[in-house]
Amino acid sequence: MSTIHTFFQHLVKLEIVKETRQIGRARLYKLNSHNPVVQQLISLDNKLIKELADDLVTEKIENRSRK
């Protein structure tokens, strides 16, 4: 069994991801948005994206004022 498969099975066991359906032999998964860990990860991602966007806007404003 590959490392990624073993790791992914831990995510399933912890209910971080959940199986949504099966197409042939392929199983499809998605993040379990009801899991508190996933909610925290989504929150962190949103904060990081907002901070990056704010930095880009600030940089763009500073570049315009230099012209």
Q: What is the pLDDT of residue 10?
A: 95
Kindly tell me the number of DSSP H helices and DSSP E strands found in the chain.
2, 2
43: part of which helix (H) or strand (E)?
Answer: helix 36-66
Residue ranges in the chain whose pLDDT is less than 70:
1, 67
The DSSP code for 2 is -
Q: What is the pLDDT of residue 1?
A: 65
